[in-house]
Structure 1
Protein backbone atom coordinates (compact mmCIF):
# COMPACT_ATOMS: atom_id res chain seq x y z
CA UNK A 1 0.00 0.00 0.00
CA UNK A 2 1.09 3.56 -0.64
CA UNK A 3 -0.38 5.06 2.52
CA UNK A 4 -0.77 3.49 5.95
CA UNK A 5 -3.27 6.08 7.18
CA UNK A 6 -6.57 5.86 5.32
CA UNK A 7 -7.68 9.17 6.85
CA UNK A 8 -4.96 11.16 5.09
CA UNK A 9 -4.77 9.69 1.63
CA UNK A 10 -5.31 6.90 -0.84
CA UNK A 11 -4.10 3.40 -0.06
CA UNK A 12 -3.17 2.68 -3.68
CA UNK A 13 -0.74 4.38 -6.06
CA UNK A 14 -1.81 6.95 -8.61
CA UNK A 15 -1.00 4.44 -11.37
CA UNK A 16 -3.31 1.86 -9.76
CA UNK A 17 -6.11 4.39 -9.40
CA UNK A 18 -5.77 5.58 -13.01
CA UNK A 19 -5.81 1.98 -14.26
CA UNK A 20 -8.99 1.38 -12.25
CA UNK A 21 -10.60 4.46 -13.85
CA UNK A 22 -9.69 3.13 -17.30
CA UNK A 23 -10.94 -0.35 -16.31
CA UNK A 24 -14.21 1.19 -15.07
CA UNK A 25 -14.82 2.86 -18.42
CA UNK A 26 -14.00 -0.28 -20.43
CA UNK A 27 -16.05 -2.41 -18.01
CA UNK A 28 -19.10 -0.18 -18.42
CA UNK A 29 -18.89 0.25 -22.19
CA UNK A 30 -17.64 -3.17 -23.37
CA UNK A 31 -18.06 -5.72 -20.56
CA UNK A 32 -21.15 -5.09 -18.42
CA UNK A 33 -23.62 -4.84 -21.28
CA UNK A 34 -22.09 -7.47 -23.56
CA UNK A 35 -24.46 -10.30 -24.57
CA UNK A 36 -24.45 -13.25 -22.14
CA UNK A 37 -23.05 -15.84 -24.60
CA UNK A 38 -19.93 -13.75 -25.40
CA UNK A 39 -17.67 -15.35 -22.78
CA UNK A 40 -14.68 -15.25 -25.14
CA UNK A 41 -15.11 -11.51 -25.61
CA UNK A 42 -15.15 -10.87 -21.85
CA UNK A 43 -12.13 -13.17 -21.40
CA UNK A 44 -10.31 -11.14 -24.05
CA UNK A 45 -11.11 -7.88 -22.25
CA UNK A 46 -9.92 -9.32 -18.93
CA UNK A 47 -6.67 -10.51 -20.55
CA UNK A 48 -6.13 -7.01 -21.98
CA UNK A 49 -6.16 -5.76 -18.37
CA UNK A 50 -3.69 -8.38 -17.13
CA UNK A 51 -5.96 -11.18 -15.93
CA UNK A 52 -4.67 -14.70 -16.42
CA UNK A 53 -7.62 -16.46 -18.07
CA UNK A 54 -7.66 -20.13 -19.08
CA UNK A 55 -9.63 -21.71 -21.88
CA UNK A 56 -13.38 -22.19 -21.73
CA UNK A 57 -13.84 -19.66 -18.90
CA UNK A 58 -17.39 -18.34 -18.39
CA UNK A 59 -17.45 -14.91 -16.79
CA UNK A 60 -20.94 -13.45 -17.09
CA UNK A 61 -21.53 -9.76 -17.85
CA UNK A 62 -22.93 -8.88 -14.42
CA UNK A 63 -19.72 -9.82 -12.56
CA UNK A 64 -18.19 -6.88 -10.71
CA UNK A 65 -14.38 -6.85 -10.83
CA UNK A 66 -12.26 -4.38 -8.87
CA UNK A 67 -8.90 -5.06 -10.56
CA UNK A 68 -8.70 -7.67 -13.34
CA UNK A 69 -4.87 -7.75 -13.16
CA UNK A 70 -5.28 -9.55 -9.80
CA UNK A 71 -7.34 -12.43 -11.27
CA UNK A 72 -6.25 -15.95 -12.15
CA UNK A 73 -9.14 -17.84 -13.73
CA UNK A 74 -8.23 -21.41 -14.63
CA UNK A 75 -9.73 -23.54 -17.41
CA UNK A 76 -13.51 -24.02 -17.56
CA UNK A 77 -14.36 -22.09 -14.38
CA UNK A 78 -17.59 -20.13 -14.20
CA UNK A 79 -18.38 -16.83 -12.47
CA UNK A 80 -22.11 -15.96 -12.36
CA UNK A 81 -23.69 -12.54 -12.78
CA UNK A 82 -23.92 -10.68 -9.50
CA UNK A 83 -20.62 -12.01 -8.15
CA UNK A 84 -18.29 -9.35 -6.73
CA UNK A 85 -14.59 -10.13 -7.18
CA UNK A 86 -13.12 -7.50 -4.85
CA UNK A 87 -9.63 -8.19 -6.13
CA UNK A 88 -7.47 -5.71 -4.27
CA UNK A 89 -5.27 -8.79 -3.80
CA UNK A 90 -4.97 -11.89 -5.98
CA UNK A 91 -8.00 -14.14 -6.45
CA UNK A 92 -7.37 -17.57 -7.97
CA UNK A 93 -10.32 -19.63 -9.21
CA UNK A 94 -9.48 -23.25 -10.01
CA UNK A 95 -10.36 -25.44 -12.97
CA UNK A 96 -14.06 -26.28 -13.31
CA UNK A 97 -14.87 -24.21 -10.21
CA UNK A 98 -18.20 -22.40 -10.07
CA UNK A 99 -18.99 -19.22 -8.13
CA UNK A 100 -22.75 -18.62 -7.97
CA UNK A 101 -24.69 -15.37 -8.10
CA UNK A 102 -24.43 -12.83 -5.33
CA UNK A 103 -21.19 -14.18 -3.85
CA UNK A 104 -18.62 -11.67 -2.59
CA UNK A 105 -14.96 -12.66 -2.79
CA UNK A 106 -13.10 -10.06 -0.71
CA UNK A 107 -9.29 -9.82 -0.57
CA UNK A 108 -9.03 -6.44 1.17
CA UNK A 109 -9.54 -5.40 4.77
CA UNK A 110 -8.30 -2.86 7.31
CA UNK A 111 -6.14 -3.30 10.41
CA UNK A 112 -8.36 -1.86 13.13
CA UNK A 113 -5.57 -2.32 15.74
CA UNK A 114 -3.51 0.47 14.16
CA UNK A 115 -4.11 4.19 13.96
CA UNK A 116 -5.38 5.15 10.53
CA UNK A 117 -6.89 1.69 9.84
CA UNK A 118 -4.32 0.80 7.16
CA UNK A 119 -5.60 -1.32 4.31
CA UNK A 120 -4.01 -4.68 3.67
CA UNK A 121 -4.78 -7.50 1.28
CA UNK A 122 -4.56 -11.26 1.47
CA UNK A 123 -4.99 -13.61 -1.51
CA UNK A 124 -7.95 -15.95 -1.90
CA UNK A 125 -7.62 -19.35 -3.59
CA UNK A 126 -10.65 -21.34 -4.70
CA UNK A 127 -9.64 -24.88 -5.67
CA UNK A 128 -10.43 -27.03 -8.67
CA UNK A 129 -13.90 -28.62 -8.94
CA UNK A 130 -15.36 -26.42 -6.19
CA UNK A 131 -18.80 -24.87 -5.96
CA UNK A 132 -19.31 -21.64 -4.08
CA UNK A 133 -23.11 -21.41 -3.87
CA UNK A 134 -25.24 -18.25 -3.93
CA UNK A 135 -24.55 -15.25 -1.68
CA UNK A 136 -21.40 -16.62 -0.03
CA UNK A 137 -18.93 -14.17 1.54
CA UNK A 138 -15.27 -15.25 1.50
CA UNK A 139 -12.88 -13.35 3.79
CA UNK A 140 -9.34 -12.28 2.82
CA UNK A 141 -6.68 -14.98 3.02
CA UNK A 142 -9.02 -17.97 2.73
CA UNK A 143 -8.24 -21.10 0.71
CA UNK A 144 -11.08 -23.36 -0.39
CA UNK A 145 -9.80 -26.90 -1.03
CA UNK A 146 -10.30 -28.82 -4.27
CA UNK A 147 -13.76 -30.33 -4.65
CA UNK A 148 -15.22 -28.39 -1.74
CA UNK A 149 -18.83 -27.18 -1.78
CA UNK A 150 -19.69 -24.03 0.16
CA UNK A 151 -23.41 -23.78 0.96
CA UNK A 152 -25.53 -20.76 0.10
CA UNK A 153 -25.28 -17.69 2.33
CA UNK A 154 -22.22 -19.02 4.17
CA UNK A 155 -19.56 -16.72 5.61
CA UNK A 156 -16.12 -18.27 5.12
CA UNK A 157 -13.60 -16.91 7.64
CA UNK A 158 -11.02 -19.73 7.54
CA UNK A 159 -9.66 -22.32 5.13
CA UNK A 160 -12.05 -25.10 4.09
CA UNK A 161 -10.73 -28.63 3.42
CA UNK A 162 -10.87 -30.50 0.13
CA UNK A 163 -13.83 -32.67 -0.88
CA UNK A 164 -16.12 -31.54 1.93
CA UNK A 165 -19.54 -29.91 2.02
CA UNK A 166 -19.30 -26.82 4.23
CA UNK A 167 -21.90 -24.25 5.26
CA UNK A 168 -22.94 -21.77 7.90
CA UNK A 169 -22.06 -18.53 9.61
CA UNK A 170 -19.24 -19.07 10.31
CA UNK A 171 -18.74 -21.74 7.68
CA UNK A 172 -17.83 -25.19 8.98
CA UNK A 173 -17.51 -28.72 7.64
CA UNK A 174 -20.87 -30.51 7.42
CA UNK A 175 -19.96 -33.78 5.70
CA UNK A 176 -17.75 -35.39 3.12
CA UNK A 177 -18.62 -34.72 -0.51
CA UNK A 178 -19.45 -37.95 -2.28
CA UNK A 179 -19.57 -38.05 -6.07
CA UNK A 180 -22.32 -40.35 -7.40
CA UNK A 181 -22.39 -41.22 -11.10
Structure 2
Protein backbone atom coordinates (compact mmCIF):
# COMPACT_ATOMS: atom_id res chain seq x y z
CA UNK A 1 0.00 0.00 0.00
CA UNK A 2 1.41 3.43 -0.87
CA UNK A 3 2.42 5.47 2.15
CA UNK A 4 0.28 8.40 0.98
CA UNK A 5 -2.79 6.14 1.41
CA UNK A 6 -2.24 6.05 5.18
CA UNK A 7 -3.07 8.92 7.52
CA UNK A 8 -0.11 9.90 9.69
CA UNK A 9 -2.26 11.05 12.64
CA UNK A 10 -4.90 8.59 13.83
CA UNK A 11 -6.40 11.21 16.14
CA UNK A 12 -7.44 13.44 13.23
CA UNK A 13 -8.70 10.87 10.76
CA UNK A 14 -8.93 7.35 9.49
CA UNK A 15 -5.79 5.35 8.79
CA UNK A 16 -7.00 4.31 5.32
CA UNK A 17 -8.38 6.07 2.27
CA UNK A 18 -12.08 6.43 1.53
CA UNK A 19 -11.67 3.95 -1.34
CA UNK A 20 -10.18 1.35 1.01
CA UNK A 21 -12.91 1.89 3.60
CA UNK A 22 -15.65 1.59 0.96
CA UNK A 23 -14.13 -1.64 -0.37
CA UNK A 24 -14.02 -3.04 3.18
CA UNK A 25 -17.62 -1.98 3.74
CA UNK A 26 -18.72 -3.81 0.59
CA UNK A 27 -16.66 -6.86 1.62
CA UNK A 28 -18.31 -6.73 5.06
CA UNK A 29 -21.77 -6.90 3.51
CA UNK A 30 -20.82 -9.80 1.21
CA UNK A 31 -19.03 -11.51 4.11
CA UNK A 32 -22.13 -11.45 6.34
CA UNK A 33 -24.65 -12.37 3.64
CA UNK A 34 -22.72 -14.89 1.52
CA UNK A 35 -19.55 -16.02 3.32
CA UNK A 36 -19.90 -16.27 7.11
CA UNK A 37 -22.98 -18.50 7.16
CA UNK A 38 -22.29 -20.54 4.03
CA UNK A 39 -22.36 -24.33 4.56
CA UNK A 40 -19.07 -25.82 5.80
CA UNK A 41 -18.38 -27.92 2.67
CA UNK A 42 -18.75 -24.89 0.32
CA UNK A 43 -15.01 -24.18 0.14
CA UNK A 44 -15.10 -23.42 -3.59
CA UNK A 45 -17.88 -20.89 -3.03
CA UNK A 46 -15.87 -19.05 -0.38
CA UNK A 47 -12.75 -19.23 -2.59
CA UNK A 48 -14.80 -17.65 -5.40
CA UNK A 49 -15.89 -14.79 -3.12
CA UNK A 50 -12.33 -14.23 -1.92
CA UNK A 51 -11.07 -14.12 -5.53
CA UNK A 52 -13.87 -11.68 -6.38
CA UNK A 53 -12.39 -9.34 -3.77
CA UNK A 54 -8.80 -9.70 -5.00
CA UNK A 55 -7.41 -12.57 -2.96
CA UNK A 56 -5.02 -14.95 -4.69
CA UNK A 57 -6.44 -18.40 -4.01
CA UNK A 58 -4.72 -21.64 -5.01
CA UNK A 59 -6.30 -25.00 -5.75
CA UNK A 60 -8.05 -27.02 -3.05
CA UNK A 61 -8.08 -24.21 -0.47
CA UNK A 62 -10.28 -24.75 2.61
CA UNK A 63 -11.32 -21.49 4.25
CA UNK A 64 -14.09 -22.33 6.70
CA UNK A 65 -17.12 -20.15 7.41
CA UNK A 66 -16.63 -17.80 10.31
CA UNK A 67 -13.03 -16.96 9.41
CA UNK A 68 -12.75 -13.18 9.85
CA UNK A 69 -10.91 -11.51 6.98
CA UNK A 70 -10.20 -7.78 7.10
CA UNK A 71 -9.14 -7.22 3.46
CA UNK A 72 -9.15 -10.23 1.08
CA UNK A 73 -7.08 -8.33 -1.51
CA UNK A 74 -4.09 -8.50 0.87
CA UNK A 75 -4.07 -12.31 1.18
CA UNK A 76 -2.50 -15.13 -0.84
CA UNK A 77 -3.72 -18.66 -0.14
CA UNK A 78 -1.36 -21.40 -1.39
CA UNK A 79 -2.64 -24.69 -2.81
CA UNK A 80 -4.44 -26.93 -0.31
CA UNK A 81 -3.99 -24.60 2.66
CA UNK A 82 -6.65 -24.50 5.35
CA UNK A 83 -7.98 -21.81 7.67
CA UNK A 84 -10.19 -22.97 10.55
CA UNK A 85 -13.37 -21.33 11.75
CA UNK A 86 -12.92 -18.40 14.10
CA UNK A 87 -9.44 -17.60 12.80
CA UNK A 88 -8.78 -13.89 12.23
CA UNK A 89 -6.72 -12.73 9.26
CA UNK A 90 -6.24 -9.06 10.13
CA UNK A 91 -4.80 -8.25 6.73
CA UNK A 92 -4.09 -4.53 6.90
CA UNK A 93 -0.82 -5.63 5.31
CA UNK A 94 -0.02 -8.70 3.22
CA UNK A 95 -0.59 -12.25 4.51
CA UNK A 96 0.87 -15.15 2.53
CA UNK A 97 -0.14 -18.72 3.38
CA UNK A 98 2.00 -21.38 1.69
CA UNK A 99 1.01 -24.70 0.20
CA UNK A 100 -0.66 -27.04 2.72
CA UNK A 101 -0.20 -24.57 5.55
CA UNK A 102 -2.79 -24.70 8.33
CA UNK A 103 -4.20 -21.88 10.41
CA UNK A 104 -6.27 -23.46 13.20
CA UNK A 105 -9.41 -22.24 14.93
CA UNK A 106 -9.14 -18.93 16.70
CA UNK A 107 -5.59 -18.17 15.52
CA UNK A 108 -5.00 -14.44 15.01
CA UNK A 109 -2.63 -13.19 12.29
CA UNK A 110 -2.19 -9.43 12.78
CA UNK A 111 -0.29 -7.38 10.18
CA UNK A 112 -1.00 -3.93 11.63
CA UNK A 113 -0.04 -1.91 14.67
CA UNK A 114 0.60 1.73 15.54
CA UNK A 115 3.88 3.58 16.01
CA UNK A 116 3.68 4.61 19.66
CA UNK A 117 6.92 6.61 19.32
CA UNK A 118 5.14 9.23 17.16
CA UNK A 119 2.59 11.66 18.57
CA UNK A 120 -0.07 10.76 15.98
CA UNK A 121 0.29 6.98 16.47
CA UNK A 122 0.34 6.34 12.71
CA UNK A 123 -0.59 2.91 11.45
CA UNK A 124 2.30 0.65 10.51
CA UNK A 125 1.92 -2.61 8.66
CA UNK A 126 4.28 -5.47 8.06
CA UNK A 127 3.56 -8.72 6.18
CA UNK A 128 3.10 -12.15 7.71
CA UNK A 129 4.29 -15.25 5.83
CA UNK A 130 3.31 -18.77 6.84
CA UNK A 131 5.43 -21.00 4.61
CA UNK A 132 4.40 -24.33 3.10
CA UNK A 133 3.53 -27.23 5.43
CA UNK A 134 3.57 -24.99 8.51
CA UNK A 135 0.85 -25.16 11.15
CA UNK A 136 -0.29 -22.33 13.41
CA UNK A 137 -2.33 -24.12 16.10
CA UNK A 138 -5.48 -22.95 17.87
CA UNK A 139 -5.63 -19.45 19.30
CA UNK A 140 -2.00 -18.59 18.57
CA UNK A 141 -1.22 -14.90 17.95
CA UNK A 142 1.22 -13.94 15.18
CA UNK A 143 2.68 -10.41 15.25
CA UNK A 144 3.29 -8.19 12.20
CA UNK A 145 6.44 -8.94 10.23
CA UNK A 146 6.75 -12.59 11.30
CA UNK A 147 7.65 -15.48 9.00
CA UNK A 148 6.73 -18.98 10.11
CA UNK A 149 9.29 -21.23 8.39
CA UNK A 150 8.44 -24.17 6.15
CA UNK A 151 7.12 -27.12 8.15
CA UNK A 152 7.20 -25.21 11.44
CA UNK A 153 4.53 -25.98 14.05
CA UNK A 154 3.37 -23.19 16.37
CA UNK A 155 1.74 -24.54 19.54
CA UNK A 156 -1.74 -23.56 20.68
CA UNK A 157 -2.06 -20.13 22.33
CA UNK A 158 1.53 -19.19 21.54
CA UNK A 159 2.48 -15.54 21.02
CA UNK A 160 4.83 -15.30 18.04
CA UNK A 161 6.78 -12.03 18.14
CA UNK A 162 9.68 -13.04 15.89
CA UNK A 163 10.17 -15.34 12.91
CA UNK A 164 10.38 -19.08 13.62
CA UNK A 165 12.71 -21.47 11.75
CA UNK A 166 11.67 -24.21 9.38
CA UNK A 167 10.88 -27.78 10.48
CA UNK A 168 10.73 -27.00 14.19
CA UNK A 169 8.09 -27.25 16.93
CA UNK A 170 7.69 -23.93 18.73
CA UNK A 171 5.45 -22.74 21.56
CA UNK A 172 5.06 -20.32 24.44
CA UNK A 173 4.72 -16.65 25.27
CA UNK A 174 6.94 -15.50 23.78
CA UNK A 175 7.12 -18.36 21.32
CA UNK A 176 10.44 -20.19 21.17
CA UNK A 177 11.86 -23.27 19.49
CA UNK A 178 11.27 -26.46 21.51
CA UNK A 179 12.61 -29.15 19.19
CA UNK A 180 13.03 -30.27 15.60
CA UNK A 181 9.90 -31.45 13.76
CA UNK A 182 10.48 -34.96 12.48
CA UNK A 183 8.05 -36.49 9.99
CA UNK A 184 7.62 -40.27 10.36
CA UNK A 185 5.98 -42.88 8.15
CA UNK A 186 2.98 -44.66 9.61
Range of TM-score over shorter length:
over 0.9
Tell me by how many angstroms 1:2 deviates: 2.6
Q: Distance in 2 between matches of 1:180 and 1:33?
A: 38
Aligned to 2:125: 121
Q: Distance in 1 between matches of 2:94 and 2:6?
A: 17
Q: Distance in 1 between matches of 2:124 and 2:170?
A: 27
Aligned to 1:10: 14
What secondary structure is seen at the aligned counterpart in 2 of 1:160?
coil
| Aligned length, in residue pairs | 181
In the TM superposition, what whole-angstrom CA distance separates every residue of 1:148-179 from its partner, at most 9, and x where no partner exists?
00000000000000000000000000000000
- Misfit runs of 4+, over 6 Å: none
- 1:84 maps onto 2:88 in alignment: yes
Aligned to 2:101: 97
Matches for 1:15-94 after TM superposition, within 5 Å? 15-94=19-98
Aligned to 1:162: 166
Tell me how large the CA RMSD over aligned residues is: 0.5
Tell me by how many angstroms 1:36 deviates: 0.3
Q: TM-score, normalised by structure 1?
A: 0.99
- 1:109 maps onto 2:113 in alignment: yes
Gaps of at least 5 residues in structure 2 are none
Given that 2:77 and 2:97 are in contact with CA atoms closer than 8 Å, whether structure 1 keeps it comes out as yes
